[in-house]
């Protein structure tokens, strides 16, 4: 299951993570977010122990969303050592996300 990232755990779970972190910025009411959700869950299982795959609800966590200037959802950020190294806005295929993650592992 994807890790739940929040405004309160963001610093310790993402910024202080020395590896790769994938964050899916989503909302309950967002149709495309619901389409990409199962892909994020699959990636969380497949990359368990190799990368942190998480979801951040933009409605419940406005602080982090504003920090990264998230204006469209779904937006997926890939961070390495706390720095953004890649970004995907809108729905995409699992293979595209796999390729992006593998590039930074």
CATH number at residue 62: 3.40.30.10
Active site residue 36: no
d(C-alpha 12, C-alpha 69), whole Å: 20
* Percent of the chain surpassing pLDDT 70: 100
Q: How many helices (H) does the chain have, and how many strands (E)?
A: 4, 5
pTM of the model: 0.95
Which one is catalytic: 30, 43, 51, 78? 30
Active site residue 93: no
* Contact present, 20 and 79 (Cβ < 8 Å): yes
pLDDT for res 98: 97
Which one is catalytic: 2, 5, 33, 79? 33
Give phi and psi for 49, each to the nearest 5.
90, -15
- Tokens (6 digits) for 19: 């590896």
Q: Taking Cα atoms as reference points, which of 72, 67, 71, 74 lies closest to residue 91?
A: 74
Q: What is the domain extent for residue 31?
A: 3-104
To the nearest whole number, what is the mean pLDDT of the chain? 96
pLDDT for res 59: 97
What is the number of domains present in the chain?
1
Using the predicted structure, report yes or no on whether residue 45 has a pLDDT greater than 90. Answer: yes
Give the mean model confidence (pLDDT) for residues 51-77: 97
């Amino acid at each position: 299951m994807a890790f739940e990232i929040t405004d309160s755990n963001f610093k310790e779970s993402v910024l202080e993570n020395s590896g790769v972190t994938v964050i899916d910025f989503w909302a309950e009411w967002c149709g495309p977010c619901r389409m990409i959700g199962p892909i994020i869950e699959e990636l969380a299982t497949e990359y368990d122990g190799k990368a942190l795959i998480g979801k951040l609800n933009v409605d419940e966590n406005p602080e982090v969303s504003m920090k990264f200037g998230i204006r469209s959802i779904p937006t997926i950020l890939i961070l390495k050592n706390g720095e953004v190294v890649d970004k995907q806005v809108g729905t995409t295929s699992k293979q595209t996300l796999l390729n992006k993650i593998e590039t930074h592992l």
